[in-house]
Structure 1
Amino acid sequence: MTAAGERSARVVDLLLGTAVLVVVGTAVAANVGTGTEQPSPAAYAFAIVLAAVVLVRRRWPVATLVVTAVILIVYYMSGYPPIGLAVPLAAALYSAAEQGKLRAAAAIGGSLLVLSTLVRIRQGDDLAYLLGFEFATTACLMAAVVALGDSVRSRRGWRAELAEQARIAELEREREAGRRVEQERLRIARDLHDLLAHTISVISLHTDVAREAVRDDPTTAEKSLVAVRTACSGVVRELRATLQALRREPADIQPAGLAQLRSLTDAAAETGLAVDVVITGEPRTLPVVVDTTAYRVIQEALSNVLRHADASSVTVGLAHGADVLEVRVEDDGRGATPESLASGAAGWGIIGMRERLALLGGRLDAAPRSPRGTAVVATIPLEETG
C-alpha cells in the first residue's frame, strides 16, 4: 500500500472508531432497561476500548473480532446498559470478511447473537419482540456487514486478477515482439549471407579469369573486371537497401525477386558456366515473400555450384503449380555426398535455405544426381503461412 493509501486507511479507521465511540457512548448514556439512574464510568471505559480496538482491525482482523466479542460478553455480564451487538461488532465483522476470514466472522457473530438471545429469553424478555424484531434485525445487519466485506474482498481479487492478466498479456506481447525481431534479424542475416556468398563467388571466379587472361587475352580480362565491378556495385546497392529497411527509410531499390533472375543467371554464365532456365506452368504474380525466397534459393544454389561443384552446366527450373512453386537447380558437377547434405557439412547455405522454406511451410530437398551432379529442389506454398 502506498503512503497516501495508508494515510487514507488511518483516517477511515479513526472515523469508524469515533462513530463506535459516539454510538456506544450514547447508548450507555441513554441507560435503557437497567433500572439505575446513572451508568458507571466503567461502562464508558468499555465504549472507549471498543472504539480503540477498531484501530487495529486491518492488521489483526480475527483477533479484533474475538477481542470485541469478549469485551461485549464481559460488558453485559457486568450489568451495564444495553448497547446492542451489530454496531460494536460491525467494523470487526467487516474486516474479518474482507480479509477472507468468512467462517470466523460467521461463527463468532452467530454465536454471540445466539448467546445473547438465549440469555435474554432466560431473563424473561418478550419473545415476540425479541425474536420477531430484534433478533431478525441484528442478524440481518450482521449478515449485511459480512456480505459487504466479502464482496469487497472478491472485487479486490477480481481487480488483482485482471491486473495480473494484463501483466501477463503485456509480457506475451513483449515476447512476441522479441520473437518477431529475432526472426527479422535471422531473415536479414540469411539474405546477407546469400547475397555476399553469391557475389564473392562471382568475384572470385572472374578475378581468376582476369588473372589468367590479362596478358594473352586483354579483352576477356577486361570483361571479367567489368563483371567484378558490376557485382560489387550490385552488392553495395542491396546492402544500402537493407540498411534503409533497418532504419525504416523508404528504399529506392526493389526487393530481390525472380524479376532479377536474368541478371543472376547472366552473372553465373559470364564465369563460363552454361546456364539454362526452364519455366513450366502459367507464371503469375507471386507474394513478395515467395518471390524473394525463390530468388534466394536459386542464388544460393548457383553460389554452391560455382564454389564447390566444378560443373560445366546448370539447369534452373521454375514450375508454377496451382498452389505451389517448385524451384529446381541441377548441375553436372562432382556432387555432394548425401551425408554432407544431410548434416550441413557442405556449408550453412543448405541449412539456411531449409530454415527459410520451413518458415513458409515449404521444404527443400538436396541430393546427388546420377551419374554426376547435385539436384536442389525447393517447394514453396503460394499461400503465406509464416
Structure 2
Amino acid sequence: MPDHSGSRDRSGRQAVIIDALLGFAVFAVVAIAIGADIGGGAPHPAVAYGFAAALGLLMLVRRRWPMTVLLVTSLLLITYYVVDLPVIGLAVPMAAALYSAASFGRTSWTVGAAVALVLVSTSSRALEGQDLAFLLGYELASTAAIMGAAIALGDGAKQRREGARQRERIAELDRQAREAESAERLARERARIARDLHDAVGHHLSVVSLHTAVAGEALEEGAVDLSAARTELEHVAQAAREGLRDLRSTVRALRGSGSGGGADGGVEQVAGLAHLAELVASVRAAGLAVEVRGNAAGEGTLVPPGLPGLVDATAYRVVQEALTNTIRHARARCAAVLIERTEDALEVTVTDDGTAAPADEHGKGMGLAGMRERVRMVEGTLQAGAAPGGGFRVRARIPLGGDA
C-alpha cells in the first residue's frame, strides 16, 4: 500500500498557508476601506482595525468551523455598524465567510445569511436617510453580485471535491471488483485442476487397485496361480503407464493453458471421445463388461465433425468417471454407455447393473460432484441415481454451444 502521509502533510501545510493569506487579504481590504472612510463618518481607528483583524483571524478556522465563522462574521458586521464605525460594505468582509460555508456544504445557510444581512443593512441605511439611488442602484447590485459569486464559487469547490471523492470511490469499487474477479478466477482454476487430476489419475488407480487385489488372490498360499497373477500384473503395469501418460499430458496442458484455459485448448485437449475405445478396453480388462452404443461414438472411434472441443471432453470425462465409480462401488457385472447427438445437444447415459450407489452420492469423494461441475460449466444438466430396472444410472445432457 502506498504511504500517503507525506502528501497529507504537504496538503495540510498548504491549506494553512492559503488560509493565512486569505485572512491577511480580508484584513487588508477591510483596513483599506476603513482608512478610505468612504462614508465620511467619525473614524475610530483602534476599534475599527480591531474588527478588521478579527474578520481576518476567522479565516484561520474556516475549514474546521465554517458555520461558526459565517455566524460570527455576520454578528461582527452587525455590531460594527451598530457602533457607527466607518463604512466598509458587506460584500468584501462577508465574501470569504460565505465562500467557506458554501464550500463545506452549507449553501442554503449562506444564501439565507447573505439575504438577511443585505435586507437589514439596506433597510437600516435607507431609514437613516442615505441616497436610495446609490443604495439600490449601485451598492445593492454590486453587493449581491459579489456575495452571489462567493457562494457560487464555494458551492463549485464543494461539487469538485464531491466529484473527486466519487471518482475515488468508483476506483476503489473497481479495484475491489477486479480483486474479487481474480480470486474467483483463481478458485475456478483450482477446481478445474483438481477435477482434471482426479479424472486423469483416478480411473487408472482404480484399475490398478482392482488388478492388484486379484493378483494378490492368485498368489495366496495354497492356491498359487502364477499365470493369472502375471496377467493381472500386466494389467497393472498397463494401467500405470496409461495413468502416467495422462498425468503428464494434464501437467503439460496446465503449464500451457495460462490462467484462463480455453474451450478447445488447455487441459481439455488430453480428453475426448476419440480415446473412448482405450477407456472401455481398460474397464473391460478390469472385469466389467461394457457395451457402447449411439450415433456419436460407435465404440469411441467416431467423433462427429463439428463437435465442440469442450463438449467432446466433457462427454468423455462423464463416461470415464461414471465407469470408474462403477468399478469402485457398484459391484456390477456389466455397464452400458449410450452416446447420442441430437440437433442441439450431446446426450450421454451410463447405466450399470450394480447394487450400490457411488460413495460420493452422500457428499464424500469428488466423482459425481466433479461431473456436475463439468456439465454445469457448459450449461448442461446431469442426473444421477437408481436406474428404473435396478443398478445406477448417470445421464448428462450437454448443449452443443456449451463452450461459447
TM-score using structure 2 length: 0.86
For residues 108 and 263 of structure 1, the distance between their equivalents in structure 2, rounded to whole angstroms, comes to 89
User: Aligned-pair distance for 1:342?
Assistant: 10
Q: What aligned pairs does 1:188-227 form with structure 2 within 5 A after superposition?
A: 188-213=193-218, 218=226, 220-227=228-235
For residues 343 and 274 of structure 1, the distance between their equivalents in structure 2, rounded to whole angstroms, comes to 23
Given the alignment, which residue of 170, 173, 192 partners 2:175?
A: 170
TM-score using structure 1 length: 0.89
Given the alignment, which residue of 228, 233, 236 partners 2:241?
A: 233
Where structure 2 has 5 or more consecutive residues not aligned to the other structure, the ranges are: 1-6, 259-265, 297-302
**CA, structure 1 residues 348+335, in 2 after alignment: closer, same or farther (shift >3 Å)?**
farther
Where structure 1 has 5 or more consecutive residues not aligned to the other structure, the ranges are: none
What does the per-residue CA deviation read over 1:204-238, in whole Å, with 9 as the maximum and x for residues that have no partner?
Answer: 22223434556876555434323322322332333
For residues 34 and 255 of structure 1, the distance between their equivalents in structure 2, rounded to whole angstroms, comes to 100
The SS at the match of 2:340 is strand
Q: In the alignment, does 2:35 pair up with 1:29?
A: yes
Given the alignment, which residue of 244, 264, 283 partners 1:268?
A: 283
What does the per-residue CA deviation read over 1:17-37, in whole Å, with 9 as the maximum and x for residues that have no partner?
Answer: 11112111111111122244x
For residues 254 and 112 of structure 1, the distance between their equivalents in structure 2, rounded to whole angstroms, comes to 81
For residues 128 and 28 of structure 2, the distance between their equivalents in structure 1, rounded to whole angstroms, comes to 28
Which residue number in structure 1 is paired with residue 261 of structure 2? none
**CA, structure 1 residues 101+132, in 2 after alignment: closer, same or farther (shift >3 Å)?**
same
Given the alignment, which residue of 184, 189, 192 partners 2:189?
A: 184
Which residue number in structure 2 is paired with residue 306 of structure 1? 327
Which residue number in structure 1 is paired with residue 398 of structure 2? 380
For residues 267 and 53 of structure 2, the distance between their equivalents in structure 1, rounded to whole angstroms, comes to 83
For residues 345 and 104 of structure 1, the distance between their equivalents in structure 2, rounded to whole angstroms, comes to 65
Amino acid at match of 2:347: E
For residues 112 and 141 of structure 1, the distance between their equivalents in structure 2, rounded to whole angstroms, comes to 14
User: Aligned-pair distance for 1:69?
Assistant: 1.1
For residues 341 and 209 of structure 1, the distance between their equivalents in structure 2, rounded to whole angstroms, comes to 22
Amino acid at match of 2:371: M
What does the per-residue CA deviation read over 1:165-220, in whole Å, with 9 as the maximum and x for residues that have no partner?
Answer: 22112212211221222122222222233333311221122223434556876555
User: Aligned-pair distance for 1:65?
Assistant: 0.9
Q: In the alignment, does 2:292 pair up with 1:277?
A: yes
Which residue number in structure 1 is paired with residue 9 of structure 2? 3
Between stretches 17-26 and 301-310, larger displacement belongs to 301-310
User: Aligned-pair distance for 1:147?
Assistant: 1.3
Which residue number in structure 2 is paired with residue 16 of structure 1? 22
Which residue number in structure 1 is paired with residue 362 of structure 2? 344
Between stretches 277-286 and 92-101, larger displacement belongs to 277-286
User: Aligned-pair distance for 1:246?
Assistant: 5.0
Is contact 1:190–1:352 with CA below 8 Å preserved after alignment?
yes
Is contact 1:344–1:350 with CA below 8 Å preserved after alignment?
no
For residues 376 and 194 of structure 1, the distance between their equivalents in structure 2, rounded to whole angstroms, comes to 16
For residues 319 and 307 of structure 1, the distance between their equivalents in structure 2, rounded to whole angstroms, comes to 26
Which residue number in structure 1 is paired with residue 4 of structure 2? none
For residues 308 and 164 of structure 2, the distance between their equivalents in structure 1, rounded to whole angstroms, comes to 45
For residues 364 and 55 of structure 2, the distance between their equivalents in structure 1, rounded to whole angstroms, comes to 86
The SS at the match of 2:270 is coil
For residues 256 and 230 of structure 2, the distance between their equivalents in structure 1, rounded to whole angstroms, comes to 39
The SS at the match of 2:34 is helix
**CA, structure 1 residues 110+277, in 2 after alignment: closer, same or farther (shift >3 Å)?**
same
**CA, structure 1 residues 17+245, in 2 after alignment: closer, same or farther (shift >3 Å)?**
farther
Is contact 1:314–1:330 with CA below 8 Å preserved after alignment?
yes
Amino acid at match of 1:162: R
**CA, structure 1 residues 303+248, in 2 after alignment: closer, same or farther (shift >3 Å)?**
same
For residues 403 and 83 of structure 2, the distance between their equivalents in structure 1, rounded to whole angstroms, comes to 82
State the percentage of identical aligned residues.
43
Which residue number in structure 2 is paired with residue 259 of structure 1? 274
For residues 114 and 252 of structure 1, the distance between their equivalents in structure 2, rounded to whole angstroms, comes to 81
**CA, structure 1 residues 67+207, in 2 after alignment: closer, same or farther (shift >3 Å)?**
same
For residues 194 and 246 of structure 1, the distance between their equivalents in structure 2, rounded to whole angstroms, comes to 14
The SS at the match of 2:32 is helix
What does the per-residue CA deviation read over 1:229-279, in whole Å, with 9 as the maximum and x for residues that have no partner?
Answer: 232233233334444555557889942222221211111121233222223
Q: In the alignment, does 2:167 pair up with 1:151?
A: no
Q: In the alignment, does 2:346 pair up with 1:325?
A: yes
Which residue number in structure 1 is paired with residue 262 of structure 2? none
Which residue number in structure 1 is paired with residue 3 of structure 2? none
Given the alignment, which residue of 57, 62, 65 partners 1:57?
A: 62
**CA, structure 1 residues 152+241, in 2 after alignment: closer, same or farther (shift >3 Å)?**
farther
Q: In the alignment, does 2:117 pair up with 1:109?
A: no
Aligned residues: 382
